[in-house]
Amino acid sequence: MIRKADTSDLEQLVALEERSFESDRLSRDSFHHLITSGSAETLVDVRDGRVVAYVVVLFRSSSTTARLYSIAVSEDSRGGGVGRSLVEAAESAAIGRGRDEMRLEIREDNRASSALFEKLGYTRVALTDNYYEDGMSAVRYAKILEKGKGTRA
C-alpha cells in the first residue's frame, strides 16, 4: 500500500536508505524535514507493516516542474513493480500540485533505474560529470506529465 510517509516511518526509512546506498544517503534529520515540509512529498510503500520502498518529490513554488529527489526499493521487493508504482504515485502527486514536468538524476552506472525510467517515458536530457560524492556522473531525465496518462488517479 502506498501512502504519505509520517514521522513514525523515520527509523524504517533510515534503515532502508542505509541498505540501499553506499554514499549520498539521506539522514534521519533530512527525512524528518522532507516528511514535514510543505515543499516535498514523501511516499512509502508498506507491506505487512514494513516500509519496503519510498520516493521523495520536491516542489518549488515558482516552478511547474517537480523533482524526483530520491527513490529506494528494498532488495527483496525489486522486480515486482514496486518502483513503477511509486513513480506513478509520485507523478500523480506532482500533477495534483499543478506540475507538468518531472525531472530527476540517476547515477550513470545505475542501469536498472535508467531502464525503469526510460520504460516509463522519461527522456535523457543531460549528463553531469562528477555529480555524486564518489565522483560518478549523473544522467538527468525529464518527462512531461499528462493528467490521466500513466498515473494513478
pLDDT digits (tens, 9 = 90+) for 22-70: 888 999 999 999 999 999 999 999 999 999 999 999 999 999 999 999 9
21 part of a folded domain: yes
Separation between Cα atoms, residue 92 and residue 151, nearest integer Å? 6
In a domain, residue 112? The reply is no
Any domain includes 146: no
Domain that holds residue 96: 2-102
Whether 115 is covered by a domain: the verdict is no
Mean pLDDT rounded to a whole number for the chain: 93
Long-range contacts of 5-14 (CB under 8 A, 24+ apart): 5/31, 5/35, 5/42, 5/43, 5/44, 5/51, 5/54, 6/35, 7/32, 7/35, 7/36, 9/35, 9/44, 9/51, 10/35, 12/50, 12/51, 13/42, 13/44, 13/51, 13/54
**Across-strand partners of 107?**
138
9 is a domain residue:
yes
Asked if residue 107 is part of any domain, the answer here is no
Write phi, then psi, for 39 (nearest 5 degrees).
-100, 15
Mean pLDDT computed over 118-138: 95
Mean pLDDT score, 144-150: 72
Residue 121, domain member (yes or no): no
What is the total count of domains within the chain? 1
* Residue 152 located in a structural domain: no
| Lowest-confidence pick of 58-72, 104-118, 135-149 | 135-149
Q: What is the CATH number of the domain that holds 67?
A: 3.40.630.30
